[in-house]
Amino acid sequence: MLGQLIYDRLDEAAKHSQPGPGVTRLFLSNEHKSVTPLIRDWMSKAGLFSEIDAAGNIVGRDDKALAGAPTLILGSHQDTVVSGGKYDGMLGVALPIAVIEHLRKTGIELPFGIEIIAFGDEEGTRFQSTLVGSRALAGTFDPAALNARDDHDISVADALRNFGCNPDEIPALKRNRRKVIGFVEIHIEQGPVLEIMDLPVGIVTALTGIERHHLQIQGKASHAGTTPMHTRQDALVAAADIIHQVEATCSATEGMVGVVGKIEVTPNAVNVIPDHVDLTIELRAPERTVRVNGRGQILSALPVIANNRRVEINAVQTYEAEGVPCADWIMSGLEQAIAEKGIKPHRLFSGAGHDGLAMHDLCDIGMMFVRCRNGLSHHPDEAITPEDADTAARILADFLQNAGKLRGIE
């Protein structure tokens, strides 16, 4: 079974990890270096010529791609969060390699080139500089990202050089958009929808837009036992009101999710009314108007909360990335391949960011989700089944055989 091969390979790749629970394999780390020969060996078995590019990506190309033919790019990322799972990212590397190997062994030749990429840096865990590899391919890489540093004060540029890469060559990685048909990624869902619907796979309609805000709440510290409740300037109570506002707005807004993921309280003492709170708000939605309207509801509530709680609130937006749609032809092609397997096609958006956010600046993108147990991701217990991997692989194989017709390439 093709799915079992993929499943076993992912088990093997998971051994390339820092000690500890789950899988920890950071960008340009020793574990990244040690997993590289394994992935290149998979590529070789699939008839792909592989290399490590200047951005730390592991790139495999077939003969047509090497000859400059129109090429479809497949792939995902090899890096993980700290104590992550075996399948986030790496499923989208191992699965298409196995599919191309299968098509080659069965004598099926595609009318276009294939390029499979194990992107180096999607999670941004080590340097907080995400999508280095995919932005390099799209031609949108910001050289300033080379100056980002990890916890040991090592820069991205120095880490690349230590890895055997030349960061000065990154601009040359930009792909010719006229030669790229599109980018397709297979990824675990990272959510519970498919499992609830008892479906092995789903078709992604869009990758979410993301924005983040940093809020500072200034109250007044005083004795917790002697200050009347109605006179307090409690920064933490104001923060609780804000958290409730975020929860209420996102719960009432279809297509948007949000979280207050980080909060710091000062002086953080058992018998002192909190004087100051720093917190973050993150909002996600594939549609910009949905996210902007939700943001407006939350931010417009801040002056009311500040007045009611007798505090000062300052909010600064620190990050924004727009969502991107998946291409109709890729969604339709995946839908047809899924239906032909007797599976109900289901479309859903991705609430997580992916390399497709960068690749969209280069070409059409598409993504297929694979069901994961309990919707769990970024966790040691992240899990899929060999049967679902097999289903996804065979759907991708069918899609690839029809993709030429969908794009007018015979």
In this structure, are residues 180 and 407 in contact, taking their beta carbons and an 8 Å threshold?
no
Q: Do 336 and 303 share a domain, yes or no?
A: no
Q: Which two tokens stand for residue 344?
A: 């109900």
CA dihedral 86, 92, 96, 98 (to 10 degrees): 0
In this structure, are residues 167 and 54 in contact, taking their beta carbons and an 8 Å threshold?
yes
Q: Do 145 and 249 share a domain, yes or no?
A: no
Q: Looking at the predicted structure, is the pLDDT value of residue 62 above 80?
A: yes
Boundary-marking domain end, from 257, 290, 321: 321
Q: Which residue's entry shows tokens 């004795």?
A: 223
| Number of folded domains that form the chain | 2
Q: Looking at the predicted structure, is the pLDDT value of residue 352 above 90?
A: no
Q: Do 31 and 137 share a domain, yes or no?
A: yes
Q: Which two tokens stand for residue 156?
A: 């991205």
pLDDT category of residue 129 using cuts at 50, 70 and 90: confident
More confident residue, 304 or 320: 304
Q: Is 278 exposed, middle or buried (0-12, 13-18, 19+ CB in 10 A)?
A: middle
pLDDT of residue 319: 83
pLDDT of residue 388: 98
Is residue 226 within a helix (H) or strand (E), and if so which, with residue range?
A: none
Q: Do 240 and 356 share a domain, yes or no?
A: no
Which of 173, 169, 172, 152 lies closest to 161 in space, CA to CA?
169
CATH of the domain at 202: 3.40.630.10
pLDDT of residue 294: 97
Lowest mean pLDDT among 32-36, 92-96, 159-163, 349-353: 349-353
Residues 6+ apart with CB under 8 A from 408: none
In this structure, are residues 216 and 313 in contact, taking their beta carbons and an 8 Å threshold?
yes
Measure Cα distances from 305 to 28, 101, 239, 243 in Å.
45, 59, 9, 11
| CA–CA distance, 326 with 349 (Å, rounded to integer) | 9
Q: Do 135 and 242 share a domain, yes or no?
A: no
Q: Do 203 and 119 share a domain, yes or no?
A: yes
pLDDT of residue 390: 98
Give the tens place of pLDDT for each residue, 136-150. Answer: 999 999 999 999 999
pTM for this structure? 0.87
pLDDT of residue 11: 98
Radius of gyration of the chain (CA): 23
pLDDT of residue 217: 98
Q: Do 82 and 183 share a domain, yes or no?
A: yes
Per-chain mean pLDDT for the chain: 96
pLDDT category of residue 124 using cuts at 50, 70 and 90: confident
pLDDT category of residue 242 using cuts at 50, 70 and 90: very high
Q: Looking at the predicted structure, is the pLDDT value of residue 24 above 80?
A: yes
| CA–CA distance, 194 with 114 (Å, rounded to integer) | 29
Q: Do 202 and 215 share a domain, yes or no?
A: no
What domain range is 224 assigned to? Answer: 209-321
Boundary-marking domain end, from 304, 321, 338: 321
Q: Do 80 and 150 share a domain, yes or no?
A: yes
